[in-house]
């Protein structure tokens, strides 16, 4: 095996091992955080957000799912609300997506970012096993009628928010962050004023879930905020692209990360299989097609019929074929009488008439002969082919 082949084989093996490690690692993380579907608007499970999605639509708001990349958000429109609930920030949104999300809010829209992951909301995880009630921190219009806010999250907002990417956004300043709700362990919801819009940072996605939206004053808070931004003419979007259910990019985004890793593993395994086959058997050799000669066909047919003691029948079949070709009578279906053949011979040119007569009489002789051999039939078939070829 050459050095170059060894190098490629080792490279494929390393890539396969690396993809396997990524798959196992992601599956372990998924088991810890439950299923990837738990926080989407498609899910009717207690942790899903389908109830909020359906309820806002039924009371008159224009609600839809956002299934494209964040960088395709149109920041020229205003009075729109985008719920971004527990995005897979380590997989999908990149720097350009986070920039557009901030520009979208600055243009006069609202982004509600809700997550228990501390790196997404810039917080700190605390061990909390029971539910707490958060209290409003100021008499803001958004908090009108909100007296009982239930918290079932272990994360508190302890740091100035920055998107979980390696970048600094000058428009985000700690002094612009306004805490709205807090419990005994810290802040659970705050708002960042950006230009004409806002970003809400929420570490308690339980309040937006199917189980929690009807508890306490959770829906009252959502209705206050959505009504103040969207009004009657605005739009409300629930982000699904950030959770891996996107479209509009390419087919690769339509499958989950586990499926992508599995596809890559199959591709690598296929390359290894092709490489192994090339080492074992060498380069593929193209098969040159050769036309099957009539002589070979006649020889094979004669062998088959001889074993069935029907060589005479084979001669009659070939004689009929010969007469069809010579006299251009494709619809001739049985051997004519000798007198009929003699009359047909008169229609041929004198130079060709003798050759055709000789082959025909030869066939008549073979068909009446009791003992026939393959050699005799083959010899006559070659003579027959010569006459047909000169026709």
177 pLDDT higher than 70: yes
pLDDT score for 285: 60
Helix axes 311-327, 374-389, angle to 10 degrees: 10
Instruction: Please give the pLDDT value at position 2.
Output: 63
Local structure of 67: helix, strand or coil: coil
d(CA 236, CA 222) in angstroms, rounded, equals 12
Beta-carbon-side half-sphere exposure of residue 24 (alpha carbons within 13 Å): 6
The total number of residues shown for the chain amounts to 391
| Domains within the chain, CATH numbers bracketed | 37-255 (3.40.50), 294-389 (no CATH)
Would you report the helix, strand and coil content of the chain in percent, each value rounded to 5?
A: 50, 15, 40
For the purposes of burial, counting CB atoms within 10 Å of the CB of 227, is it exposed (0-12), middle (13-18) or buried (19 or more)? Answer: middle
**Cα(136)–Cα(141) distance, integer angstroms:** 11
Taking residues 350-372, report their average pLDDT.
83
- Tell me the pLDDT of the chain averaged across its residues: 82
Asked if residue 9 has pLDDT above 80, the reply is no
Which pLDDT does position 51 carry in this prediction? 96
Buried b / exposed e over 244-262, threshold 16 CB at 10 Å, is bbbeeeeeebeebbeebbe
Let me know the angle formed at the C-alpha of 201 by 195 and 207, rounded to the nearest 5 degrees.
135
pLDDT of residue 196: 92
Rounded to whole angstroms, the Cα distance separating 187 from 202 reads 9
Q: Identify the DSSP state of 205.
A: G
Q: What is the pLDDT of residue 370?
A: 75
**Average confidence (pLDDT) over 177-182:** 94
- Residue 250 confidence (pLDDT) above 50: no
Q: What is the CA radius of gyration of the chain?
A: 42
């Amino acid at each position: 095996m050459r050095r170059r082949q060894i190098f490629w084989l080792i490279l494929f093996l390393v890539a396969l091992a690396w993809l396997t490690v990524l798959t196992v690692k992601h599956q372990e993380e998924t088991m810890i955080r439950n299923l990837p579907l738990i926080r989407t608007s498609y899910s009717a499970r207690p942790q899903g957000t389908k109830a909020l999605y359906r309820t806002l639509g039924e009371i008159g708001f224009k609600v839809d799912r956002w299934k494209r990349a964040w960088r395709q958000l149109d920041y020229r429109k205003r009075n729109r609300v985008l719920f971004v609930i527990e995005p897979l920030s380590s997989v999908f949104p990149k720097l350009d997506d986070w920039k557009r999300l901030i520009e979208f809010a600055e243009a006069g829209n609202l982004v509600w970012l809700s997550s228990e992951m501390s790196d997404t909301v810039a917080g700190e995880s605390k061990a909390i096993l029971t539910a707490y009630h958060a209290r409003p921190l100021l008499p803001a219009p958004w908090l009108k009628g909100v007296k009982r806010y239930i918290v079932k999250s272990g994360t508190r907002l302890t740091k100035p928010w920055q998107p979980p990417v390696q970048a600094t956004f000058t428009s985000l300043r700690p002094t612009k962050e306004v805490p709205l709700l807090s419990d005994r362990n810290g802040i659970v919801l705050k708002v960042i004023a950006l230009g004409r819009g806002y970003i809400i940072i929420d570490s308690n996605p339980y309040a937006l879930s199917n189980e929690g939206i009807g508890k306490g004053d959770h829906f009252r808070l959502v209705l206050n905020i959505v009504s103040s931004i969207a009004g009657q003419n605005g739009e409300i979007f629930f982000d699904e692209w950030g959770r891996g259910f996107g479209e509009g990019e390419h087919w690769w985004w339509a499958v989950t990360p586990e499926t992508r890793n599995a596809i890559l593993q199959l591709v690598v395994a296929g390359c290894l299989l092709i490489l192994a086959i090339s080492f074992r058997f060498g380069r593929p050799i193209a098969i040159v097609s050769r036309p099957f000669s009539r002589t070979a066909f006649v020889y094979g047919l004669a062998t088959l019929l001889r074993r069935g003691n029907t060589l005479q029948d084979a001669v009659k079949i070939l004689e009929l074929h010969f007469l069809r070709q010579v006299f251009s009578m494709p619809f001739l279906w049985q051997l004519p009488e000798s007198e009929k053949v003699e009359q047909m011979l008169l229609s041929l040119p004198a130079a060709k008439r003798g050759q055709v007569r000789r082959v025909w009489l030869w066939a008549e002789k073979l068909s009446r002969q009791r003992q026939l051999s393959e050699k005799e039939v083959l010899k006559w078939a070659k003579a027959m082919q010569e006459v047909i070829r000169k026709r």
